[in-house]
Amino acid sequence: MEYRAALLSDLDALHNLENQVFDSDKVSRRQMKRFIQSEHSLLLAALDADKLAGYALLLFNQTTQLSRLYSIAVSPDFRGKGIANELLIRCEKSAVERGYITLRLEVREDNSSAIKLYEKHGFKPLKTLIHYYDDLADGLRMQKRLGTAGPQMALPMPLYVQTLPFTCGAACLLMSFAALGHPTPPTRKKEVQLWREATTIFMAAGHGGCSGQGLALAAHRRGFPVELWSHSQGTPFIHSVRDPLKKSVIELVHADFEEQIKSTDIEVNEAPPTVEQIETWMEKGACVLLLISTFRFNGCKEPHWIVLSGMNEQFFYFHDPLVEEAQNAVNAAYVPVGKNALNQIVGFGKQKHTACVVIYPKENGLPA
């Protein structure tokens, strides 16, 4: 069996297979042509002696780290030969090669054989989609975090899971301190203390999140050499609240943080970091905290802090302090993100606010 990217000369065979396999929700011939020609999709064909045995259609989202298995079909004449299994394996490999770390799909809830195949490959159910298909059948959305070769360089960083919805920045500081040799283990008491030091007081709802300025100051107070790379069109997070009083408090706290930084030796750079700069920092053993928008990972537009924990030629790896269920904690350490997609995840809000805190090992090697 030969597996290759589909060609325009395969259009007739693809169209015939689509009509043979599916009764509804079909990919049209025009759509097939567009997918073959697009650089944001991969239409993978399986051929036996030039006869089309099956295909898989993979879509690459341009604004998130999500790839999508849009459709997979195997001719009735070739079923039972492991073609769907092989197509799925090759789709996962292709997604990783392009820097995508998550593969998502939708499948009919009554298609038990397909669901079993996806479960065998490690896909987990995300959501039931009511009346998703043309015939009003329900669908099941499934997702898998794709494996990579792993980091060639990794920091000795424990995973610390934030215990409150708004303490991701503080949790990243605790992980950084541990990786840089601080002798006492991270605790919830320290997590809350760091959050109180670095918070901006207010955000869209509930308690406030941490700014780059606040996190940089908290690390500096504990004796770590720190750099701050911050670029924003105005006060960070100011557009996350509407109340004038809350806005004034955010501005007050931010101005105070900036005044405090001026009295330290913290190097401040009003620019987003480059991939090359981050590589250099990590090679020096520094911890790099990044403010990201979670939209790139899960479609929700929320600010969130992560800390880089390793890298190889193609990927950076990070520890994510946000773990919704305990059994998923293992998947929150050394999470890959393609280097070519870094500029897509860094930054938040209408201000295009970017913040990066670089924490170096202490020069004397002694913890505070």
Better pLDDT: 126 or 263: 263
How would you class 98 by CB atoms within 10 Å of its CB: exposed for 0-12, middle for 13-18, buried for 19 or more? middle
Q: Does 14 have pLDDT greater than 80?
A: yes
The 10 Å CB-count burial string (b at 16+, else e) for 6-45 is beeebeebbbebbeebeeeebbeeebbbebbeeeebbbbb
- Does the pLDDT of residue 175 top 90, yes or no? yes
Instruction: Please state the separation of Cα 68 from the chain's center in Å.
Output: 14
Of the chain, the percentage scoring pLDDT greater than 90 comes to: 58
Confidence band, pLDDT 50/70/90 cuts, at residue 243: confident
CA distance 106 to 114: 10
Asked if 89 contacts 98 with a C-beta cutoff of 8 angstroms, the reply is no
Whether residue 18 has pLDDT greater than 60: yes
Give yes or no on whether 2-145 and 153-359 have one common fold: no
* Mean pLDDT across 243-259: 88
Please give the pLDDT value at position 167.
Answer: 93
Encode pLDDT of 69-102 as tens digits.
Answer: 999 999 999 999 999 999 999 999 898 888 787 8
Which pLDDT belongs to residue 139? 94
| Residue 135, burial from CB neighbour count under 10 angstroms (0-12, 13-18, 19+) | exposed
Closest CA to 319 of 302, 340, 339, 337: 337
Reported as a pLDDT band with limits 50, 70 and 90, residue 225 is: very high
Per-domain boundaries in the chain: 2-145, 153-359
pLDDT at 332 over 50: yes
Numbers of helices and strands, H then E, in the chain: 11, 15
DSSP 129-148: ETT-STT---EEEEEEEPP-
Q: What percent of the chain lies above the pLDDT cut of 70?
A: 88
The two tokens of residue 228 are 């701050």
Model confidence at 340, pLDDT cuts 50, 70, 90, reads: confident
CATH (residue range 153-359): 3.90.70
Average pLDDT over residues 227-254: 81
pLDDT at 366: 45
Q: What is the mean pLDDT of residues 346-367?
A: 73
pLDDT at residue 323 tops 80: yes
Q: pLDDT by residue (tens digit) across 179-218? A: 999 888 899 999 999 999 999 877 655 567 789 999 999 9
* Start-to-end C-alpha separation, the chain: 62
pLDDT reported for residue 352: 66
Confirm if 150 and 156 have CB atoms less than 8 A apart: no
pLDDT in tens, 129-163: 999 998 899 999 999 888 666 788 999 999 999 99
Please report the pLDDT score of residue 184 as a whole number: 81
244 pLDDT more than 80: yes
Site of tokens 């899960």: 298
Whole-angstrom distance, CA of residue 154 vs CA of residue 131: 45
pLDDT score of 234 more than 80: no
How large is the C-alpha radius of gyration of the chain?
A: 24
pLDDT at 335 over 70: yes
pLDDT score of 349: 55
Q: To which CATH superfamily is domain 2-145 assigned?
A: Gcn5-related N-acetyltransferase (GNAT) (3.40.630.30)
Give backbone dihedrals phi and psi of 245, rounded to 5 degrees, phi first.
-65, -45
Q: Where are the beta strands (DSSP E) in the chain?
A: 2-5, 41-48, 51-60, 66-74, 102-108, 124-129, 139-145, 153-154, 226-231, 267-269, 287-293, 303-311, 315-319, 335-338, 354-359
Mean pLDDT of the chain: 87
Give 143's strand partners: 104, 124
Q: Residue 76: exposed, middle, or buried by beta-carbon count in 10 A (0-12, 13-18, 19+)?
A: exposed
DSSP structural state of residue 223? T
Question: What span, in angstroms and rounded, lies between the C-alpha atoms of 98 and 77?
Answer: 32
For residue range 259-280, list pLDDT tens digits in order.
Answer: 999 999 999 998 889 999 999 9
In this predicted structure, what is the pLDDT of residue 367? 46
